[in-house]
Structure formats: C-alpha cells, structure tokens
Structure 1
Amino acid sequence: MDELPIGRRVAYWRGRRKLSQQVFADRLGKSKSWVDKVERGVRRLDKFSVLYEIAYILEVDVQLLLGKDPERRADALNCIDQIEVQEIRAALERYDSMSAYFDAAPYPPPLVDMRKAVNHAWLTYQYGRYGMLTRALPKLLRDAQAADAGHDGDHSREAAHLLGQVYQIASSVLRKLGECDLAWLAADRSMAVAQRADDPLLAGIATTRVCNAMVAMGRPRPALELNLTIANRLAPGGGNDTDPGRLSVYGLLLLQGAMAAARLGDSATVDDLINGAHEAALLLGSDQNHYWTSFGPTNVELHRAAAAVELGDGGRAVEVHQQRIAEPAFNTLLPERRAHHLLDLARGFAQIGDVANAGEMLLRGDRLAPSEIRCRPIAHEVMSDVLRRTRGAPPSLIAELAEHMGVGV
C-alpha cells in the first residue's frame, strides 16, 4: 500500500476494522463529511496530532498510515502487530510443496524437532499466550512447510499431519485477533493438507477451523452446513469406532455447528446440536484434549452459555454458568477455555444490564489469560460498553484494564 495516498490508507484500515464512516467520525470527534473528504483526498491530513489519533483508533502503527515500514511496538507483549501479520501472511503464501515437486529440499527439518515445536505451539495457544505464538508462527510455518515438502515415503504422512496442525494453530489465533481473512486462508490450507495426511479426524478438526473463520467473516449458514456434513460422516457407531479421539472431534463439530446456528438465530438447531454433543461427552466421560479439542462435559456447557450469548439471551448464559458448570471441573480446563468463557459471561452480563459483573468477568479473564481479554476485538467492545454504561468514574481496576486494552475511559 506504500503508493496509496494517506486518505486511501485511512479508508483501507477503517474497512479492516469494520468501522463505518459515521462510527469512525464519532470516535474522532469529527463529522462524517470530514472523514469522507480525508479518505477521498479532498482534505489534507497535515496535523500529526490528528494522524496519531487516527492511528490509535484504527489500532495500527502511524508509520503504516504514512506508507513507511512500521516500527515494532515496545508494548506488543500480548497482541499481534502489523509486522507479525505481514510475516505470517508471507509464510502462508509459500508453496514449498509445489517447489519440491520440481526440486526437493535437500535438508528438511527433522520430524522429531517438528513434533516438539508443534506441541509447544498448541500449549502456547491453549495457555492464551497469543503474542508469543504470533511471533513464533512465521518460522514454525516455514519449517513445517519445508518438512512437508522434504519428507517422503513413510514420513510423508506425519509431515503432512504436523503441517496441518500448524495451519490450524495459525487459523485459531488469527481469528481471535481479528485477522479473519488470514484465518480462513490458514484453515483452508489445513483441510487440504489433512487429506494428504490421510487422517479423517484431523480433517474433521480442520473443518471446525474453516467454519469458525467463515462465521467470523459473516458466513454462518455455509459454516453450519459444512460442520453438519462432516459431523455426519464422522459420527460414532455404524462403521465408525467410538474411541476418544472420534468422540472428541465429532462433539466439537456439533458444538461449532451450534455456534453457527446461534449466529443465525436458530435456537432449535442450537439445542439439538448441543444435546448431541452432550451425549458424545457423556460417552467420553470427562474433559480431555484429544486432537487439542479440550472436549468433554464441561466444555459442552461452556458452549451452551456461549450460544445463549450469541442468541442474545444473556440471562440464560449466566444461568448455565451458575447451575450447570461445576467449579472444580471448570478450574481444570486450560486457561484459554476458561478466559474465553469469562469473556462470554461478560457479554451475557452486559446483555442483562449488569455492567458491574460484566467488568468483574473481564478482570477474572485477564488474570487467567491477558491476551484473551486485551487482544480480542470482542473484548474491546464489551469493555467500551461497560465504561459507557457505568455511572460516574469506573472502578480503579476496570479503568486500569481499560487503559491496558487501549479502550478510552
């Protein structure tokens, strides 16, 4: 975008942040006409104070608006920055497997090293350390692609399996951080690689990543249909076994289908799918982490609450938390799952007008996994709502968290 006028760059990043001209103007304290003139180049942006304010609202480095290489932020401990985005995009745009078709890589990374790196990346994600993960992703993607391209024979399936997992990790964290286009690209790649790995369960999990990205991009209906199609293929019973891995993948497909149905406002389908997942969880017996799904009875209830929030029924979400989720079982879940649920609860409390408890859930989530609260766009929306609806000055801990999140008090 270096050759674009500055107004076009502002329009581009405003679009990426999904802000209308009116909302953007309101946050700037300007008129919609002023924003329109800036973006069309009719009005010049010649005050650095205004430029920095625009960069702050759009959550980008001011150097990007000036058409220069961004400087790495000193405070980028938990969140992704544009350097990471650009490096991950470049890694996803590599086609090592095609190059290897003509000229195989002579020294692919050892698979034993790749297994360790992939396991570490999964744990980094499930502990909610998104900044650490996004900084490691470009190299991990390149290494996994090189391993997939360079290994053949008996090792080719394992190399493809590891690459498929890396694509899924990338898709999951990118979706959380609002980079939905890249999340979809990584998820789509994971589905293709899963077929080469010849692992139907890996393909099933890849399906959930694709569908999550589709929902985030405003495409819940095809996401629902795809989740159900693959869930039916993998359903236990008949010619399929009922081992823990299959139960976990099948159950997660149903849960993600329920979330897509909730986005559509289809409460009957939500109930059917969550009840089906509950049956699979009962067969599994306890919360486990096969195929990195964190699937089990407690996670089913977390999704029941999350779906209620998506349906706009915050009271139901709070009720599920209070009556159906046992605290000991909840506390055994990994930090990402727990913090994600607390963010859903914050949304639920906000829906019923209880901004004090909404803020408390944000604080609890931040103590568990700061990145889940400080880096996710949906958390910023909840915090903005809490601040706007709090009478008088917000509590000091809320004000401090809002400052860390970059949400104006």
Structure 2
Amino acid sequence: MPTDATPDPYANPIAFGQRLKILRTRKGMTRAQLGGLVGDKTASWVRAVEEGRLQTPKLQTVLRLAEVLRVRDLAELTGNQSVPVALFTGPGHPRLRAVKDAIDAFPFTTAREAPPIAHIQARLASAWTARHSAKNHREAIGALLPDLIRDAQLAVRQADRAAERRSAQAALSEVYSLSQFFVAYQPDAPLLWRVADRGMIAAQESEDPHTIGVAAWLTAQAHRDSGPDHYDAADAVVEDVLRFLTPLLPNASDEVLAITGALTFEAGYTAARRRETGTAWRHWDKARTMAKRLPDDYYHPVTSFSQAIMGAHAVTVAVELHAGGESVRQATASDATAIPSRPRRARHRIEKARGYQLDGQPDVALDTLARAHEAAPETIKYNGYAKAIVLEETESKIPDRRRRASELAVKLGLLAA
C-alpha cells in the first residue's frame, strides 16, 4: 500500500474520533461543513471529538454523523464489529436476486415474440396500483418485475418502426422506474445506478416528455441520496429537464404538469438538504401552484404528485431544514389519510416522526412510526431515518418509551425477538 494512502477506518481497533476524521477526510469535508450538516455544531466541536478531547457523542448525534457521512454500516464509525447496523440499506429482499438477474440479462437470441406494447402498459398500470395498495409493496412488485423487465427489453429489440420503437422505449423506461422503487435502499448500490441510467437512456430514446421527466426525477433522487457530494448533480438533472418541460406547460397534459411539479419540488428538497431555507420554500411554493392546476382527485402514479401530497412535502422541507417547531406545525396541518398510496402515506408518517423527534417529542415520534408500520411495513423497514429514531429510543431512560421502541425495533428486524 502506498505510504500516502488513506487508512482504512475499520482495519484496526482505533478510536471513534480517529474514525470520524478518516471518514470525513474521505468525503472531502471540512470540520465546519460536517459540523453544520450534523446540526449547528462548530468546527472546534468536531476537532475536539476527533482528537478525543470530547467523549463519543450520544447515539442521536452518532446516527446523524453516520447519515451525513453516508455510512452504510454503523460499525465503520463506531468500530464495534460485533453489532453491524445497516442504517441506510435495507436487509435485502428475497426477490432481489430474481429482479437483478432480469435486469442484468440481455438475451439476444430468442424465438419468443414480445407481447404487444399495450399489453405491457396494462401490466405496468396494474403493477403501480399494486405498489400503492399493498402493505408489503416490495413483495408485490418484486413478483411482477422479472417478467416485465424481460418483456419490455424484448419489445424494444423487436420493434421495427420508429414510432413503435419509441413507444417500446417509453414502456421500458417506466419498467426501470418501477424497478428503482424496488431496488432503492437495498444492499446493491451498483444495481440501483444501472437501473437509473438505463431508465434515463430509454426515456431519451422515447422522446416522450413525461417519460423523460420521470426518469430525471428518479435520477435526481439517486444522486441526492448518495450524499452532499452529489447534490450538484441532482440539481443539474432537475434544472436541465425543467428547461425542457417548462415551454410545454401552457398546453400540457395532467401527467406532464404533474411531473414538472414533482421535479420542481425535488429542487426544493435538495435545497433543504443544503439548509437553504428560502430556496427550499420557494420551490415548494412553486410546486404547490402547479399542483393547484391539477384536478382535485388527480394522483401521479409514480411520484405521488398531487394537491394532497403538498402537505407531506411541506413536512419534508421543514424536517430537512431541521426546523423542529415548523416540522410539527406542518405535520399537524397535513393529512396523511388524504394520501391514497400506502408506502407514500407511511413515508409521510416517518417524516412526521422525524419532526416530532426534532421537536423533543419522542413519544409522539414512536407512535407515528408505529402507524407508519401499520400502513406499509416494508417502507419503514427500509428507511434509515425511522431506524435511527427507534434505535435511539431503545436506550431511553424512561422504561415505557424504551419498551415501545424495543417492540418496534423487533418488528423492523433491528433486535432479536
């Protein structure tokens, strides 16, 4: 190994502060940047922790450090190899292998005829419905995806005419979009990026504005969830596609208007992650104006963009800005029952729980997470923020809170029954 190589933070039993410094350096972050992202901590505080002049922070702060540094296993930061905790990656769904095999396969020789595009589109519509209505939505779509992927790939290869090929590419891109919902937060980041890239390529080949918008929405999310180093890439994707879609809005269909609104909110979401308060709320307000142009009962099948979702989006912005009081105010004003999608409703409740936790209301946070679990167990099971709250409260000094947190931790697979 070269003498100037960055050491492995978990190759040897080194102190928490040393690990923190190594991981921060690997991310190219200054102490001031890390402190600000963790929650108004100073550069001197970070330095004191790194140098061992301060004790290891409390669990809530450790989990926030892991979040900012995008640590996949808490042991990378704490050094405890006996209790690995995958915070931001789910456990790996039993159907992941079959979905991965279908994505990775490109059979160029087959005597089988591809189903008609209309047939694939009808199956996609059913799959989206299943995703929104099923409590275990990954299981529902994981069972459908392998055949959908193979058939959509085959339809593209067998398309003869230009118009037919564009329609097939649009269907294939949508299949990849559905696949990204399944693959996200599972232990195969390269697979997620293959799906996102192929979805964008197929969308571009389709030349369909709505399809391009959906692929961009998902690609931006993949960038943003990869950490602060990728926020600029997320913004670039959103801004470029918004420039493409905006001239179409005066005569746009509901679906094009909805995906434009969803992308507009994504820009605000990333701004909130950066703690850019004014920019975040400005994008949210612009997205809300677009939502008001949609029919009252309209609900975008991929992004969930609608009038009903804007309250949930407001909670997300407030939480990402770490505004506890505002998070609670927005959570109180929002109506989870107005969201028809089970997984999206569960995610909204997780965001509300984050707000209550920020505001110093851990009991309400746990109750809200329990309701999220009732709505869609697979959503909370794969959500790092929810797991962080639950793990923190399993160490509460209040027996009843600790008991309820432990019971929920068992349901999420974080603790043994």
**Interval containing the TM-score (normalised by the shorter chain):** 0.7 to 0.9
- The C-alpha deviation readout for 1:337-374, integer Å capped at 9, x for no partner, is 21110001111111122110110111111111111112
The alpha carbon displacement at 1:245 in A equals: 1.6
1:375 maps to what in 2?
Answer: 382
Structure 2 equivalent of residue 358 of structure 1: 365
1:196 and 2:202 matched: no
Q: What residue number does 2:80 align with?
A: 26
* 8 Å Cα contact 1:284/1:296 also seen in 2: yes
Structure 2 residue aligned with 1:81:
92
| Structure 1 residue 259 displacement after superposition | 1.2
- Kept after mapping to 1: 8 A contact 2:258/2:300: yes
- Tell me how far apart the structure 1 counterparts of residues 150 and 156 of structure 2 sit (CA, whole Å): 10
Match of 1:232 in 2: 243
CA RMSD of aligned residues (A): 3.0
Q: Which residue does 2:159 correspond to in 1?
A: 151
Alpha-carbon distance in structure 2 between the residues aligned to 1:16 and 1:138: 30
Correspondent of 1:90 among 101, 107, 110: 101
Shift in CA distance, 361/180, structure 1 to aligned 2, threshold 3 Å: farther
Q: 1:155 to 1:104 in 2, by over 3 A?
A: farther
Q: Deviation digits for residues 259-285 of structure 1, max 9, x if unmatched?
A: 111122222211111111011011114
Letter in 2 for 1:19: D
Match for residue 385 of structure 1 among 392, 396, 400: 392
Amino acid at match of 1:196: E
CA distance in structure 1 between the aligned counterparts of 2:365 and 2:151, rounded to whole angstroms: 42
Match of 2:141 among 123, 133, 139: 133
Post-superposition Cα deviations, 1:177-201, rounded to whole Å, max 9, x if no partner, equal: 4644322221211111112222111
Equivalent residues of 1:221, 1:264 under 8 A apart: no
Q: 1:350·1:385 contact (CA, 8 Å) conserved in 2?
A: no
**2:192 paired residue among 170, 183, 192:** 183
Correspondence 1:261-276 to 2 at 5 A: 261-276=271-286
Q: Which has the higher contact order (CA 8 A, sep 6+)?
A: 2
CA distance in 1, matches of 2:173, 2:138: 19
Q: How many Å apart are 1:322 and its aligned residue?
A: 1.4
Match of 2:183 in 1: 174
Between the aligned partners of 1:287 and 1:221, the Cα distance in structure 2 is 34
Percent of residue pairs identical: 23
Alpha-carbon contact 2:393-2:402 (below 8 Å) kept: no
Q: CA deviation at 1:20?
A: 5.4
Q: 1:134 to 1:206 in 2, by over 3 A?
A: same
Contact 1:342 1:364 in 2 (8 A): yes
Pair 1:205 & 2:211 matched = no
Unaligned runs of 5+ in 1: 1-7, 29-52, 60-78
Deviation at 1:131, TM superposition (A): 2.5
Q: Which residue in 2 is equivalent to 1:249? A: 259
Matching of residue 405 in structure 1 with residue 412 in structure 2: yes
Q: Distance in 2 between matches of 1:253 and 1:200?
A: 13
Pick from 341, 345, 348 the counterpart of residue 334 of structure 1.
341
CA distance in 2, matches of 1:176, 1:20: 15
- Aligned residue for 1:122? 128
Distance apart, 1:106 and its partner CA: 4.7
TM-score (norm 1): 0.75
Decide whether the 8 Å contact of 1:343 with 1:379 is kept in 2: yes
User: Closer, same or farther in 2 for the Cα pair 1:331/1:278, shift >3 Å?
Assistant: closer
Change (3 A) 1:212 1:291: same
AA partner of residue 294 (structure 2): L
TM-score by length of 2: 0.74
Shift in Å at residue 126 of structure 1? 2.2
- Structure 2: distance between partners of 1:256 and 1:178: 24
Question: Which has the larger displacement, 173-182 or 119-128?
Answer: 173-182
Q: Which amino acid aligns with 1:279?
A: T
2-side partners of 1:122 and 1:340: how far apart? 17
C-alpha displacement of 1:147: 2.1
Q: What do residues 89-120 of structure 1 show as CA deviations (whole Å, max 9, x unaligned)? A: 33222345xx4xxx675511343432232122
In structure 1, the partner of 2:311 is 301
| Length, aligned pairs only | 345
Letter in 1 for 2:357: A
8 Å CA contact 1:104, 1:149 repeated in 2? no
AA at the equivalent of 1:353: G
Question: Residue 378 and residue 133 in structure 1: after superposition, are their counterparts in 2 closer, same or farther (change >3 A)?
Answer: farther
Q: Residue by residue, what CA displacement relative to the aligned partner does 1:298-318 show, whole Å, maximum 9, x if unpaired?
A: 212211211211121232122
Asked if the contact 1:177/1:377 (under 8 Å) is kept, the reply is: no
What does the per-residue CA deviation read over 1:372-392, in whole Å, with 9 as the maximum and x for residues that have no partner? Answer: 112323321221123233522
Letter in 1 for 2:257: L
SS in 1 for 2:285: helix
